């Protein structure tokens, strides 16, 4: 897009101070730009990556490697006139045999060749000097060119196919004393690149296993010998010390002139001489050997340098464009979010006119202009998307090449190093160094020599939203303190907090209000530090360590899901509010979940709900006229219609990948201290977009988003992964319930299935947790309140989703000791019954499933029975249908065997579980649920599975 | 009648807002094109220079020893 499209712009649009290309260019320049474009295309092909680098740079001076990379043998040829000068003239016998062939058409010999003058030579007998010439050819890798006539002859005689427009060469070799001619052609570019990558790999392997290994072994031997020598010397020194003590004692006893004392002293002197001598000898030997190592090291380094330098140069080259393109992309992403937000905002206002048609009528003559602007709006949006795709493609290519180069460099770095050297290097790497380039996360750096920063536009605040991010990004990567240090800091802060709290208590008792207030301030500060510390820990775990890619991915995924469900929950809560059903929404009010708090704040502060269920700012320009009952009904109808639903769903999707995601990521990825800065920026930014009143109102909404995001962030920071998952389940439940109430099943079959699986797992956890704590968990209430979700559009005869949801409910009920019907999935319990039910839950001691026998003994009879009953119900439910059983087993396997959800899903997609697996799962389940002894649980599992199978047969 | 006038004014105001937003978006796109092109060109210049150096080196090696 970029180069070609810039041609369409006028010079005014482009400006002339910062660009090196101008839209109105001379044909020569255009040709050059086109060539450059082609060059980029050629050079940016990801697959070429290392191979191309190897071919073009690493082996550019290595003839042997180039021979292999660039050329290939295309076939053997018959010796002919050109080769005759290598041979002696034919002898009499050969001449006669050849003459016979000419005269009677029989006889002849393969060894007879005619030279350019028609004389016969014997290809078995090399000329004087021919051997030397062939050896020299081989040594220097000389190839002889093949002329057109020979190409034609070789092809026509069927020896080998040589294309007339391609260059070919030939080489000669002596095989068993016979000369052989081999034709050589050039490899295609792609193939050459592939071969170059292979050659590079082979070369690195050789260096690792041969030169590198030899060097490493020598180094290790020296280290070992040095230690040995030190030990021997130390031994001698100890002996000398002992002798000295002995001599001193003797001297005190017998006097210095005693012969035995003198003898002892002589011995001591001799020993000391020996030590000095040995020290010197060992030192000089080690030095000699170190010198040898140095030579070896230099030789190896030289070999590696040829490979390393182009790689390092490539990395450096990639940094600049990568940094520039990434900063542009960041800006584009922000712009995209802003634009979609703005469009959304204005579209809402169109509806205040009763729709676009009405608005156009009001416009009168401006109608055509309106249509034009709408078309322009779409065109702008499309162009922005295309630009973003372009950028992403470029960035992905560059990043792939960067990773490849980094990987190879890391490999090179290991060659010839002893384990001790490697760990030393690793330790040095882990020290925080600003701006270091490592195999870690892609650090986007700004280049100073060509700044591609967007200029401050007239209608844009000086400090753009993208602004603070860049500075903070580098800072983020500078803070690479280890997890241990962070944990230590956290503990020390907690200690301080504890002591402060104690002080506060004592001072409060003494009635020192001022001192208490002061201490409370200190506590607040420490809380701030604790938050920052936790944020760092999260970053360290999820963001800074790029080797934890999967974790990071998972985190993103969770955040993405939370965003979505948060929004749905919020929307539906708002809608419910409008329908005067606020109290029925199953959102937990005890725990400060972002959605709940956010929604409350949203309603309180703005109190108005627009047609799509979003709260809108309370400004005179923004509020649509008071809606009549008919209008409200129309809106409801619209929201229920296919188009309305579609639009709401699209909006949710937009929101998920739009501003909220951006804010979330900003909060997670950057220092939290930047919050104020970002808020200020947004403030200015918005004031430039909207009229004053609207800007204030919009800013309030943004601040709410920030607050909510901050809160969500804080909560997530403090939560373990499973807690995050639980929170997600809450969102799901809230969303699901509200969806159900509004009579719209918005979940796809996939999300419903995920929901169901999570419900099942959550129910399992609740059962275990409930046993430990003996009290109702909040989720339990939420789960119990949840009505079954609408059936998915699956063609399956049974309704697996509701089965699983019912199972989850059944688990809860079972846990409470309430019976369920075996034959049908239980009806969702009423909301009022849920709290009562949780109150009656019996208290049971913890029952680790690993020791079922012991726990059974400890468990009360009543509890045991009620729980066992629920286990039976569960098993009956499991047997309801094959899919239900399979999923329940999946849940059980997950819980009991620690298989990941993904792995399970893969397994489940491939096959149903074997009977043995089912038995293990069901028995394990029964054991953990009811505390049944293993043998009993297994027997029950066998029986239930048999029942199930028989039922299936019937 | 005043109500209609008011509506027409509001509609015109909205149209003006759309116009302004479109103009801003267009300016951004134009700028974006420039930035991408500039980044490309910088990169391309570098690659081309590199290619020339490499080709020169390869030519020396291959042709110097080739025959």
Contact yes or no for B41 and A339 at CB 8 A: no
pLDDT of A929 reads 53
Residues of A with Cβ-Cβ distance to B41 under 8 angstroms: 3, 20-21, 33, 36
Helix, strand, coil tally for chain B in percent (to 5):
95, 0, 5
What mean pLDDT do residues A389-407 have?
84
For residue A458, is pLDDT > 50? Answer: no
What mean pLDDT do residues A415-436 have?
71
pLDDT of A256 reads 76
pLDDT of A882 reads 32
For residue A424, is pLDDT > 70? Answer: yes
Alpha-carbon distances of A645 from A25, A498, A649, rounded to whole Å: 51, 52, 6
What mean pLDDT do residues A649-664 have?
42
Report yes or no: B56 at the A interface, CB cutoff 8 Å: no
CA of A114 vs chain B CAs: smallest distance (Å): 25
* DSSP-assigned letter for residue A547: G
For residue A355, is pLDDT > 70? Answer: yes
Give the pLDDT band of residue B61 (cuts 50, 70, 90).
low
Spatial CB neighbours of B30, under 8 Å, sequence gap ≥ 6: A9, A13, A14
Contact yes or no for B30 and A9 at CB 8 A: yes
Give the pLDDT band of residue A247 (cuts 50, 70, 90).
confident
What mean pLDDT do residues A582-586 have?
39
Mean pLDDT of chain A: 60
Report yes or no: B33 at the A interface, CB cutoff 8 Å: yes
CA of A630 vs chain B CAs: smallest distance (Å): 21
Distance CA A240, CA A244 (A): 6
State the burial class of residue A643 (Cβ atoms within 10 Å of its Cβ: 0-12, 13-18, 19+). exposed
Please list the residues that pair with A31 across neighbouring strands. Answer: none
Alpha-carbon distances of A298 from A54, A64, A290, A416, A418, rounded to whole Å: 22, 22, 12, 11, 16
Contact at 8 Å (CB) between A732 and A588? no
A780 against A256, higher pLDDT: A256
Q: Which of B10, B17, B48, B55 to mutate to test the interface with A (most CBs of A within 10 A)?
A: B17
Q: What is the pLDDT of residues A462-520, one digit of tens each?
A: 333 333 333 333 333 333 345 667 777 777 877 787 787 777 777 777 777 777 778 77
Distance CA A582, CA A599 (A): 11
What mean pLDDT do residues A8-21 have?
34
pLDDT of A482 reads 59
For residue A601, is pLDDT > 70? Answer: no
Spatial CB neighbours of A928, under 8 Å, sequence gap ≥ 6: A767, A768, A847, A849, A895, A896
Lowest mean pLDDT among A164-178, A192-206, A857-871: A857-871
Report yes or no: B52 at the A interface, CB cutoff 8 Å: no
Buried/exposed A243-254: b ≥16 CB within 10 Å, e otherwise: beeebeebbeee
Alpha-carbon distances of A818 from A704, A797, A864, rounded to whole Å: 43, 29, 13
pLDDT of A27 reads 59
pLDDT of A947 reads 63
Contact yes or no for A39 and B32 at CB 8 A: no
What mean pLDDT do residues A393-404 have?
83
A168 Cα distance to chain centroid: 48
pLDDT of A670 reads 38
Contact at 8 Å (CB) between A35 and B41? no
Per the rule left: phi > 0, alpha: psi between -120 and 50, beta: everything else, A479 is beta
A126 against A930, higher pLDDT: A126
Distance CA A604, CA A595 (A): 14
Lowest mean pLDDT among A157-166, A575-584, A645-654: A575-584
> Which of A678, A663, A738 minimizes the C-alpha distance to A708?
A663
The full set of domain ranges for chain A reads 2-42, 53-193, 219-430, 537-746, 747-954
Q: What is the pLDDT of residues A216-228, one digit of tens each?
A: 888 888 888 888 8
Q: What is the pLDDT of residues A86-114, one digit of tens each?
A: 888 888 888 887 777 777 776 677 788 88
DSSP-assigned letters across all residues of A580-615: T-GGGS---SSS--HHHHHHHHHHHHH--B-TTS-B
- CA gyration radius, chain B: 28
What mean pLDDT do residues A573-589 have?
43
Contact yes or no for B25 and A324 at CB 8 A: no
Q: Which of A313, A376, A464 to mutate to test the interface with B (most CBs of B within 10 A)?
A: A376
Contact at 8 Å (CB) between A315 and A409? yes
Contact at 8 Å (CB) between A586 and A782? yes
- Closest alpha carbon within chain A to B61: A61
Query: Percent of chain A scored above 70 by pLDDT?
Result: 45
Q: Which of B6, B12, B19, B21 to mutate to test the interface with A (most CBs of A within 10 A)?
A: B21
CA of B25 vs chain A CAs: smallest distance (Å): 6
A298 against A490, higher pLDDT: A298
What mean pLDDT do residues A402-406 have?
85
The two structure tokens encoding residue A113 = 């060749």
> Which of A88, A97, A94, A111 minimizes the C-alpha distance to A178?
A111
Spatial CB neighbours of A774, under 8 Å, sequence gap ≥ 6: A841, A842, A843, A844
Give the pLDDT band of residue A766 (cuts 50, 70, 90).
very low
A460 against A920, higher pLDDT: A920
pLDDT of A819 reads 31
Of A43, A140, A359, the CB nearest to B47: A43
Distance CA A603, CA A616 (A): 10
Report yes or no: A31 at the B interface, CB cutoff 8 Å: no
Q: What is the pLDDT of residues A714-757, one digit of tens each?
A: 444 444 444 444 444 444 444 444 434 333 334 443 444 454 44
- CA gyration radius, chain A: 41
Q: What is the pLDDT of residues B33-58, one digit of tens each?
A: 777 777 776 776 666 565 555 555 55
> Which of A365, A621, A499 minimizes the C-alpha distance to B17?
A621
State the burial class of residue A224 (Cβ atoms within 10 Å of its Cβ: 0-12, 13-18, 19+). exposed
A505 against A644, higher pLDDT: A505
The complex scores an ipTM of 0.78
Contact yes or no for B36 and A70 at CB 8 A: no
> Which of A310, A314, A304, A316 minimizes the C-alpha distance to A414?
A304
Could you give the 3-state DSSP secondary structure of residue A482?
coil
For residue A954, is pLDDT > 50? Answer: no
pLDDT of A686 reads 47
The two structure tokens encoding residue A928 = 């953990």
């Amino acid at each position: 897009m970029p180069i070609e499209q810039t041609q369409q712009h006028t010079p005014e649009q482009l400006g002339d101070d910062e660009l090196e290309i101008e839209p109105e260019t001379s044909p020569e320049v255009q040709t050059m730009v086109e060539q450059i474009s082609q060059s980029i295309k050629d050079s940016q092909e990801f697959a070429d990556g290392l191979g191309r680098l190897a071919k073009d740079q690493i082996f550019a001076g290595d003839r042997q490697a180039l021979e292999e990379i660039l050329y290939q043998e295309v076939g053997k040829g018959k010796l002919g006139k050109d080769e005759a000068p290598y041979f002696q003239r034919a002898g009499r016998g050969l001449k006669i045999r050849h003459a016979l062939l000419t005269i009677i058409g029989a006889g002849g010999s393969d060894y007879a060749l005619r030279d350019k003058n028609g004389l016969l030579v014997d290809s078995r007998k090399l000329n004087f000097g021919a051997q030397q010439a062939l050896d020299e050819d081989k040594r220097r890798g000389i190839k002889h060119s093949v002329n057109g006539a020979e190409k034609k002859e070789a092809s026509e005689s069927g020896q080998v196919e040589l294309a007339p427009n391609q260059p070919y060469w030939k080489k000669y070799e002596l095989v068993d004393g016979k000369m052989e001619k081999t034709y050589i052609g050039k490899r295609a570019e792609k193939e050459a690149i592939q071969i170059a990558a292979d050659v590079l790999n082979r070369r690195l392997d050789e260096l690792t296993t041969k030169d590198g290994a030899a060097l490493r072994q020598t180094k290790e031997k020296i280290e070992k010998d040095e230690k040995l020598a030190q030990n021997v010397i130390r031994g001698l020194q100890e002996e000398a010390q002992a002798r000295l003590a002995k001599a001193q004692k003797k001297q005190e006893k017998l006097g210095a002139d005693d012969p035995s004392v003198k003898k002892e002293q002589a011995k001591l002197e001799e020993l000391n001489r020996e030590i000095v001598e040995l020290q010197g000898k060992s030192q000089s030997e080690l030095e000699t050997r170190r010198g040898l190592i140095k030579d070896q090291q230099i030789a190896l380094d030289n070999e590696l340098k040829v490979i390393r330098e182009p790689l390092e140069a490539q990395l450096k080259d990639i940094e600049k464009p990568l940094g520039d393109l990434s900063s542009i992309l960041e800006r584009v992403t922000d712009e995209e979010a802003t634009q979609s937000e703005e469009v959304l905002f204005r579209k809402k206002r169109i509806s205040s006119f009763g729709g676009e048609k009405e608005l156009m009528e009001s416009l009168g003559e401006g109608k055509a202009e309106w249509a034009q602007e709408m078309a322009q709006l779409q065109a702008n949006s499309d162009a922005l998307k295309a630009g973003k795709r372009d950028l992403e493609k470029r960035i992905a290519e560059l990043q792939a090449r960067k990773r490849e180069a980094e990987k190879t460099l890391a490999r090179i770095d290991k060659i010839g190093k002893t384990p001790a050297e490697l760990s030393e290097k690793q330790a040095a790497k882990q020290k925080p160094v600003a701006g270091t380039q490592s195999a870690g996360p892609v650090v986007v750096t700004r280049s100073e020599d060509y700044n591609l920063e967007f200029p401050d536009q007239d209608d844009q605040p000086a400090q753009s939203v993208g602004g603070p991010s860049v500075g903070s990004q580098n800072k983020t990567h500078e803070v690479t303190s280890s997890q241990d240090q962070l944990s230590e800091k956290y503990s020390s802060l907690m200690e301080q907090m504890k002591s402060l709290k104690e002080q506060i208590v004592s001072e409060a008792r003494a009635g020192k209000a001022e001192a208490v207030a002061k201490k409370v301030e200190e506590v607040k500060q420490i809380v701030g530090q604790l938050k920052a510390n936790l944020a760092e820990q999260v970053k360290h775990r999820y963001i800074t360590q790029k080797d934890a890619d999967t974790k990071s991915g998972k985190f993103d995924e969770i955040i993405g899901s939370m965003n979505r469900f948060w929004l749905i929950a919020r929307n539906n809560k708002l809608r419910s509010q409008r329908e005067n059903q606020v109290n029925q929404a199953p959102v937990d009010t005890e725990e400060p979940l972002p959605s709940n708090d956010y929604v409350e704040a949203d309603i309180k502060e703005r109190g108005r709900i627009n047609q799509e269920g979003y709260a809108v700012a309370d400004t005179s320009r923004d509020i649509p006229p008071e809606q009549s009952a008919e209008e409200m009904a129309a809106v409801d109808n619209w929201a229920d219609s296919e188009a309305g639903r579609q639009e709401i769903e699209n909006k949710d999707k937009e929101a998920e990948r739009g501003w909220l995601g951006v804010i979330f990521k900003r909060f997670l990825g950057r220092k939290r201290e930047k919050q104020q800065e970002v808020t200020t920026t947004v403030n200015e930014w918005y004031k430039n977009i909207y009229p004053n009143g609207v800007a204030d109102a919009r800013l309030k909404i943004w601040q709410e988003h920030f607050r909510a995001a901050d809160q969500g962030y804080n909560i997530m920071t403090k939560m373990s992964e499973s807690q995050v998952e639980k929170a997600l389940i809450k969102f799901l439940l809230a969303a699901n319930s509200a969806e159900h109430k509004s009579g719209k099943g918005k979940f796809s079959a996939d999300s419903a299935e995920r929901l169901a699986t999570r419900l099942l797992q959550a129910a399992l956890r609740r059962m275990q947790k409930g046993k430990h704590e003996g009290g109702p968990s909040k989720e339990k209430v939420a789960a119990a309140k949840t009505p079954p979700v609408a059936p998915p559009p699956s063609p399956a005869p049974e309704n697996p989703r509701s089965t699983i949801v019912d199972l989850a409910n059944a688990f809860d009920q079972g846990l409470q000791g309430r019976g369920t019907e075996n034959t049908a999935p239980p009806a969702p319990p009423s909301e009022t019954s849920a709290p009562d039910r949780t109150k009656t839950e019996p208290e049971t001691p913890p029952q680790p499933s690993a020791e079922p026998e012991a726990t059974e003994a400890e468990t009360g009879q009543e509890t045991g029975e009620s729980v066992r009953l629920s286990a039976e119900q569960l098993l009956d439910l499991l047997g309801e249908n094959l899919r239900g059983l399979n999923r329940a087993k999946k849940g059980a396997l997950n819980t009991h065997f620690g298989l990941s959800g993904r792995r399970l899903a893969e397994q489940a997609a491939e096959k149903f579980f074997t009977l043995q697996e089912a038995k293990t799962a069901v028995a394990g389940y029964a054991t953990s649920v009811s505390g049944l002894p293993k043998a009993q649980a297994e027997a029950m599992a066998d029986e239930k599975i048999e029942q199930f199978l028989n039922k299936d047969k019937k | 009648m005043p109500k209609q006038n008011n509506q027409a004014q509001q509609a015109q105001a909205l149209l003006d807002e759309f116009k302004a937003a479109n103009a801003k978006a267009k300016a951004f796109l134009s700028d974006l094109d420039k930035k991408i092109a500039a980044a490309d060109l910088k990169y391309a210049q570098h690659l081309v220079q590199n290619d020339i150096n490499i080709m020169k080196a390869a030519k020396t090696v291959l042709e110097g020893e080739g025959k």
